[in-house]
């Protein structure tokens, strides 16, 4: 269905977000908006150099500054002086070596932020500078300084099937290209921050956004050397995350300072500190050699991925696993050899970011298919049809997956976009000035959801009627803008036919919610959907039993509805008409119906085949992009982006639409302008004046989003999340469109106007007006 309120939107489906009103009035308290009595302000001292030995750290002058409550460094960490979701190898405070510009050496809490800042400048650190390893190439050279005990390689992958070398010899056509992708910044509008409050009980309450509250609790407990139960994490709402707040950021510093001072401490990074210390998307160099027979059947595919993982691990390994799996796309390729390396450097830390390594390799893979099609003189979309997977085919790494026809569905569906009709145009002319060239491009992708084989991926949730007479659903998930609260609201109302006011939805608070796993990897919608399916029946049974006892009406005639339990007109069947409300939820609660809590725990759907990182559930997307390239300036205007997405049933149409539109524009930025430039280990782009994200003038005014909801019969896995799928196929579609407009193949992102500007843009058109005329006429016929 087209996600368009005018065509399919009832007010019920296009509802106002549950957190809407507070967000438009300024009443919505983000965690970085919070303040507490006697609150101190914390600041973190960052390294002066990207790579250096620390000779000494002298805190004494800072400690003496009036207004300073505490100055901490590595000796003040009671537990593990390190953090990292997958591999905790990033020091909370460096003790002997700094490995990047954002490394922390000390932290200060003071009465004001200004005093804290002044104190930082009084901390004396002596360094011995070391050579800066500012690229994976340098890191991999034999003479390179070793940045970690295990060397400069964080993680390697290899996947082989078939006989690639022999088959290349038989290929009718081979394309070999090296692609490069930029260091993209998440650029959440709310920078990292939070407030840390020591409680009278001796426990600590953390108010800081994250994508997995329980994981933060585990990591903090490890650092603070306290039991996990002594920490309460309140982690929603967040002002955007996109993967970037999944890892710890301010939490270790705020927690340590608050416990030391016995007073609340607030830390809220400035934008420049966020740029320096925060995660980025892995820059990758992806070499692909792809061969096909004369009919366009893919035969062999060789891939070599090198990712710049920066100074520390975080999820650099899993990101590389994901890239390794996704560089095969939704295609049948018999002979494959993939190698990947995640390489440590003295650059900023790369980590989790919406798309998780898929965006980089899908850009490369789709580029390969376009180039092959061109060489074989085939329609590139036809080339994809020839090679696209069958529903029952195994997944990219040969693992069993839930059968999906998504790639074929979206391959077909995108042809319903109005932009599709522009696709045949080939010479790029626009009928405007001669130097504006137009083109369209199409790309196809398949994207795994969930964390993949080898990583614990628990789901869970709970349901109860609480003492206020509300149906309370609790999940250890987070709301960072994606619209989770509304999705849960819709699911609950579908289950219980109640009013939105009858619900209390609790998330993002480890004292009140069960563990549900992370809110990442496009897993949350599905996880919540499963959890509610699991607890619905036992919950209803208990509620009806109690209501029947209290009202004397048989359970079979009872039905949850707005405000309470109703009698129904029909004793059986699916359709029941509510007749009369016989008891309110509040009355039920007052009669002790608020016990017990119905909880569920399960593992996110997982492939039975033990292949590390392999996924089981997939979503698919096809994207068509229309561009206009100005040859005078080399600037690319994205005139249109339309999408066809197959991700199962749509629960929350505006939420789904928003994820695709927003993901798409984030990827538009990745393709056309975004790059956190580093020079010799220092960020050149320190703030939003030079690190550019799209403005409202850089995006299409309308994007058509067509959702294919039908799943293959027997697929009972329900709705999949769409948080990432909108980002993964934009770059190849745009670059393909640029090729059509200008005749130039670009291999590096963001696309460079320097490569597209044409010194003869005016002269050539001026000299040959008649020829241009002829071309124009030829096309019309």
Helix (H, G, I), strand (E, B) or coil at 274: helix
Of 226, 272, 284, 221, nearest to 248 by C-alpha is 221
Q: Does 19 contact another protein by CB under 8 A?
A: yes
- By C-beta, is 556 or 677 nearer to another protein? 677
Helix (H, G, I), strand (E, B) or coil at 466: coil
Among 303, 319, 646, 673, binds another protein (CB under 8 A): 673
Query: What is the Rg, in whole angstroms, of the alpha carbon atoms belonging to the chain?
Result: 28
- By C-beta, is 268 or 523 nearer to another protein? 268
Among 247, 457, 661, 706, binds another protein (CB under 8 A): 661
Query: 737 and 626 in contact (C-beta within 8 Å)?
Result: yes
Window 74-133: residues binding another protein (CB under 8 A): 111-114, 117-118
Of 510, 526, 520, 713, nearest to 602 by C-alpha is 526
Determine the interface stretch with another protein among 74-82, 338-346, 381-389, 751-759 (rule: CB under 8 A): 751-759
**Burial annotation 387-397 (CB, 10 A radius, 16+ → b, else e):** bbbeeeeebbb
- Considering the complex, what minimum distance in angstroms separates the CB of residue 741 from another protein? 15
DSSP state letters, 606-675: --SS--TT--SEEEEEEEEEEEEEETTTTEEEEEEEEEEEE-S--S-HHHHHHHHHHHHHHHHHHHHT--
- By C-beta, is 18 or 99 nearer to another protein? 18
Window 639-658: residues binding another protein (CB under 8 A): 654, 657-658
Handedness of CA 699, 704, 709, 710 (dihedral sign): negative
Of 386, 412, 365, 385, nearest to 729 by C-alpha is 365
What does the per-residue mask of binding to another protein show for 687-706, with x meaning CB under 8 A?
xxxx-xxxxxxxx-xxx---
- Considering the complex, what minimum distance in angstroms separates the CB of residue 592 from another protein? 38
- Considering the complex, what minimum distance in angstroms separates the CB of residue 29 from another protein? 7
Among 763, 771, 773, 776, binds another protein (CB under 8 A): 763
Q: Does 9 contact another protein by CB under 8 A?
A: no
Window 606-645: residues binding another protein (CB under 8 A): 631-635, 637
- By C-beta, is 324 or 659 nearer to another protein? 659
Q: Does 67 contact another protein by CB under 8 A?
A: yes
**Burial annotation 344-383 (CB, 10 A radius, 16+ → b, else e):** bbbbbbbbbbbbbbbbbbbbbbbbbbbbbbbebebebbeb
Q: Does 1 contact another protein by CB under 8 A?
A: no
* Beta bridge mates, 84: none
CA dist 116 and 41 (Å) reads: 7
Among 28, 260, 385, 512, binds another protein (CB under 8 A): 28
Among 252, 407, 452, 483, binds another protein (CB under 8 A): 483
Of 358, 395, 94, nearest to 243 by C-alpha is 358
- By C-beta, is 53 or 688 nearer to another protein? 688
Torsion angle in degrees (nearest 10) through CA of 202, 206, 211, 214: 10
What does the per-residue mask of binding to another protein show for 220-259, with x meaning CB under 8 A?
-----------------xxxx-x-----------------
CA dist 117 and 489 (Å) reads: 44
- By C-beta, is 60 or 112 nearer to another protein? 112
Q: Does 29 contact another protein by CB under 8 A?
A: yes
- Considering the complex, what minimum distance in angstroms separates the CB of residue 93 from another protein? 24
Query: 57 and 124 in contact (C-beta within 8 Å)?
Result: yes
Window 295-354: residues binding another protein (CB under 8 A): none
Window 167-226: residues binding another protein (CB under 8 A): 186-191
Among 433, 499, 569, 712, binds another protein (CB under 8 A): 433
- By C-beta, is 185 or 303 nearer to another protein? 185
């Amino acid at each position: 269905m087209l996600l368009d309120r005018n065509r399919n939107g009832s007010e019920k489906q296009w509802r106002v977000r549950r957190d809407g009103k507070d967000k438009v009035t300024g009443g919505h308290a983000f965690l970085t908006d919070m303040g507490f009595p006697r609150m101190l302000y914390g600041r973190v001292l960052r390294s002066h150099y990207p790579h250096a030995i620390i000779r000494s750290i002298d805190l004494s002058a800072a400690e003496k500054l009036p207004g300073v409550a505490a100055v901490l460094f590595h000796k003040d960490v009671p537990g593990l002086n390190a953090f990292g979701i997958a591999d905790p190898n990033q020091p909370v405070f460096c003790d002997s070596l700094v490995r990047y510009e954002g490394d922390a050496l000390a932290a200060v809490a003071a009465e004001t932020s200004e005093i804290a800042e002044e104190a930082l400048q009084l901390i004396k650190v002596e360094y011995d500078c070391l050579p800066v390893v500012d690229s994976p190439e340098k890191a991999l050279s034999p003479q390179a300084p070793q940045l970690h005990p295990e060397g400069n390689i964080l993680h390697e992958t290899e996947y082989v099937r078939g006989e690639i070398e022999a088959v290349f010899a038989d290929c009718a056509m081979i394309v070999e290209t090296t692609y490069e992708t930029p260091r993209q910044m998440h650029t959440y509008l709310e920078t990292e921050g939070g407030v840390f409050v020591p409680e009278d009980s001796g426990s600590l309450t953390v108010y800081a956004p994250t994508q997995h509250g329980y994981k933060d609790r585990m990591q903090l407990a490890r650092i603070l050397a306290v039991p996990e139960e002594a920490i309460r994490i309140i982690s929603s709402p967040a002002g955007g995350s996109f993967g970037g707040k999944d890892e710890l950021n301010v939490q270790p510093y705020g927690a340590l300072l608050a416990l030391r001072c016995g007073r609340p401490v607030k830390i809220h990074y400035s934008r420049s500190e966020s740029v320096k210390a925060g995660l980025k998307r892995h820059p990758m160099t992806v070499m692909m050699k792809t061969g096909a027979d004369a009919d366009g059947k893919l035969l062999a595919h060789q891939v070599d991925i090198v990712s710049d993982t920066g100074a520390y691990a975080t999820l650099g390994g899993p990101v590389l696993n994901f890239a390794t799996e996704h560089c095969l796309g939704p295609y049948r390729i018999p002979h494959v050899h993939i190698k990947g390396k995640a390489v440590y450097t003295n650059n900023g830390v790369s980590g989790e970011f919406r798309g998780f390594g898929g965006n980089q390799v899908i850009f490369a893979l789709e580029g390969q298919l376009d180039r092959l099609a061109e060489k074989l003189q085939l329609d590139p979309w036809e080339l994809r049809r020839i090679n696209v997977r069958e529903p029952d085919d195994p997944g990219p790494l040969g693992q069993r997956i839930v059968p999906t026809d998504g790639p074929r569905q979206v391959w077909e569906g995108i042809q319903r976009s109005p932009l599709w009709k522009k696709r045949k145009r080939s010479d790029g002319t626009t009928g405007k000035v001669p130097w504006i060239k137009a083109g369209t491009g199409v790309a196809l992708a398949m994207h795994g959801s969930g964390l993949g084989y080898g990583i614990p991926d628990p789901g869970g949730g709970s349901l109860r009627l609480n003492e206020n007479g509300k149906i309370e659903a609790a999940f250890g998930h987070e709301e960072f803008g994606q619209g989770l609260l509304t999705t849960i609201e819709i699911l609950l109302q579908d289950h219980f036919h109640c009013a939105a006011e009858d619900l209390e939805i609790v998330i993002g608070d480890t004292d009140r919610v069960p563990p549900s796993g992370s809110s990442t990897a496009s897993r949350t919608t599905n996880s919540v959907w499963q959890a509610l399916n699991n607890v619905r029946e036992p919950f209803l049974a208990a509620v009806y039993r109690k209501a029947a006892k209290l009202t004397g009406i048989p359970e079979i005639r009872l039905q949850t509805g707005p405000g309470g339990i109703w009698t129904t007109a029909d004793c059986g069947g699916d359709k029941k008409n509510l007749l009369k409300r016989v008891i309110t939820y509040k009355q039920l609660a007052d009669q002790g119906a608020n016990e017990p809590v119905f909880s569920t725990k399960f593992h996110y759907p997982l492939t039975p085949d033990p292949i590390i990182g392999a996924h089981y559930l997939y979503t698919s997307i096809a994207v068509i992009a229309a561009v206009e390239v100005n040859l005078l300036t080399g600037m690319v205007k994205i005139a249109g982006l339309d999408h066809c997405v197959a991700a199962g049933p749509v629960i929350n149409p505006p939420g789904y639409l928003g994820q695709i539109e927003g993901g798409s524009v984030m990827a538009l930025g990745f393709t056309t302008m975004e790059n956190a430039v580093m020079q010799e280990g220092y960020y050149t782009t320190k703030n939003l004046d030079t690190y550019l994200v799209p403005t409202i003038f850089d995006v299409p005014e309308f994007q058509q989003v067509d959702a294919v909801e039908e799943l293959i019969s027997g697929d009972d896995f329900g709705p999949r999340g769409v948080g990432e799928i909108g980002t993964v196929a934009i770059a190849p579609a745009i670059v393909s469109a640029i090729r059509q407009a200008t005749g130039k193949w670009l291999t590096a992102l963001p696309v460079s106007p320097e490569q597209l500007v044409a010194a003869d843009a005016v002269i050539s058109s001026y000299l040959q007006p008649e020829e241009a005329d002829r071309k124009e006429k030829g096309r019309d016929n």
